[in-house]
Amino acid sequence: MISQFRHYTDSWIARAFFLIMAISFVGWGISGDIFRLMGPPSWVAKVGGQTIEIPTFQAEYQRAMAQETRDLPAGQEATPELRRRVGQQTLDRMIAQTALAVELKDLRITTPDEALAAVVRSMPAFKGSDGKFNRGVFTSVLQNNGYTEARFMAQLRSDIGQRQLLSAISGSVAAPDAEVKPLYDSEFEKRAADMAVFPLSAAPEPATPDDATLRRWYDNHPDSFATPEFRRIKAVELSPQSLASEVTVTDDELRAAYDEHKSEYLTPAKRSAEVISAPDEAKARALADRWRTGTDWTAMQAAAQAAGAAALTQDDATEVQFPDPDLAKTVFSAPADTVSDPVKGQLGWFVVKVTKIVPGSETTFDQAKDALRARVLVGKAADVMYDRANKLDQLLGNGGSLDDLPSDLGLVGVAGTLDSKGDTQQGTPAPIPGPAELKAAIVAAAFQSRQGDPPRLTEVQTPSTGGSAYYALTVESVIPPGEKPYDAVKDRVAEDWKQDQRRRSEDQAATAMMTSVQGGKSFSDAATVAGVAPKLSPLVTRSQGNPEMPPELQRVLFGLKQGEATMVEIPEGFVVAQLTEVVKPDAAADKPGYDQARTAITQSIGNDLSAVFVDAVRRRAKPQINQQGFDSVVQTQ
């Protein structure tokens, strides 16, 4: 048999078979070793021949997560769903930017070094106290934000090129009147209503209720007269403030921080003005002459409309908020309460009267010094705090208690009894030191933890100080909620009952008047019967209110038909109103307003067109996603 087997192996078919088997086994082993040596891919996405490396994606993702979780309740961690959503949004944005960069290269669109340098020199964040570009401030800002100069310049160059490309696309858009007119009519339509207010203070004083009535009210509103749950806690804090004695901040560092954030310490001047926009100089001059005779603003609005001009007001606006630069220059150079001569602007001829001047202001270095010290302290204490936090976390992880922690970690101890609002049993705020976000996190954690749970170190972002802090706590005891005895709160029960009776009384009176108006009685007659004084509200638009009109009424006013009545509840009582005036805007007489609506729609269409272009470029680049690399960064499991 063996000889027969050897005979078969002498054939060329058998030799070919064994050769293939040998190659397969060798290849299998070698390829496995090769793949093991290569490891997983180091990129998270490939876009048009370019790669997005995992470290780059991770840095952008962490920045995005810091922004996204800033508004989360203190102590609450990001959910897997939130992490995945932020990760996907970050990756999508980076893929789109990379695809655009590839498109820029294909189109040979480049940003010259001179243009790049000019943009950097013009950025307010990089200017010193003299208002000029400061190399030291530039370096400091980049370091504080985790950028090298090369990386920042490369990213800025790409951003400039992408904006250039997208602006060329969106800049070709012109909003048609068919879209502008409906938006303009809706946004600038004005309405006024007859109003009658039924304040709770005008309600007749309720008779003193008997004891049975008060006890029934007390029994039906247990939550109003209950004591909350209290918890006694013990906690430690680690923050830049707790390490302040160990960190030195020099005046030079404070001055550099002041120069870096100079724009935050400047408050621009503001002015309010009444403005008439006329189509030509002759009409503008005639209206100015009439205005100077003492004609009030209401009459001037009517005169402007009759002359084919527009009359508008601008309240508490900075110079850049005026739609026409020539108009802005005139407003900010004119004296108060004086009618100007006609001024030629880019949008027509203007006559203005400044009604209010709010000067600009600057917070000096000496005035900002304390706030600057706190800001610089956060940055300088970061490394120390990180090392101390690691030590503290290790001690707690090994079973250490808060009482046994060493005294050289820069910790601040906290102990006391509080409720879920952070108040003590005496009704005063618990004296928890540190930033507001840290206080809120400790209070929240006190009511999320169980009595006896071991302390664990938790980091809290503190936007109010521009940094973060740590805490660890234990709940020592729990005082369950209880009910305040009736005799102890009897006076408060009586006042609550009376206030409810006042509201019921005014509700009934207002409802009766509204029903009367809806039944056909005139608003003034119905108000007379109700014993209230009617008044005409000021004209308001959908977006611009007036202190004399309750916002609760303004919200429903534009859903009424002319002559229709309504009733709304406000904190002070009730308001009955009837829509009496609808002023349709005149696009021909209000060129600035119409142009404002056209600009808004043009920008919206341009943004949509840019988004479509970016999506098309992204699809053409055919991005490949390394899901394993994505998951390793986002860590949703």
67-124 confidence digits (pLDDT tens): 777 666 555 677 888 888 988 999 998 998 888 888 888 888 778 888 888 888 888 7
Tokens representing 361 are 């202001």
What is each CA distance from 140 to 125, 149, 461, in whole angstroms? 10, 11, 22
Q: Distance (Å, rounded) from C-alpha 442 to C-alpha 233?
A: 9
Amino acid at 121: R
pTM of the model: 0.51
Structure confidence at residue 3 (pLDDT): 42
Q: DSSP strand E in 484-617: where?
A: 535-536, 565-570, 573-583
In the predicted model, residues of the chain with pLDDT beneath 70 are 1-40, 70-76, 129-130, 144-146, 636-637
Structure confidence at residue 234 (pLDDT): 93
Q: Distance (Å, rounded) from C-alpha 26 to C-alpha 20?
A: 10
Structure confidence at residue 13 (pLDDT): 47
Helix (H) or strand (E) holding 234: strand 230-238
Structure confidence at residue 76 (pLDDT): 65
Structure confidence at residue 33 (pLDDT): 43
Q: Mind giving me the DSSP string for 379-414?
A: HHHHHHHHHHHHHHHHHHHTT--GGG--GGG--EEE
Nearest to 608 by CA among 88, 161, 187, 175: 175
Amino acid at 98: T
Q: Distance (Å, rounded) from C-alpha 560 to C-alpha 581?
A: 11
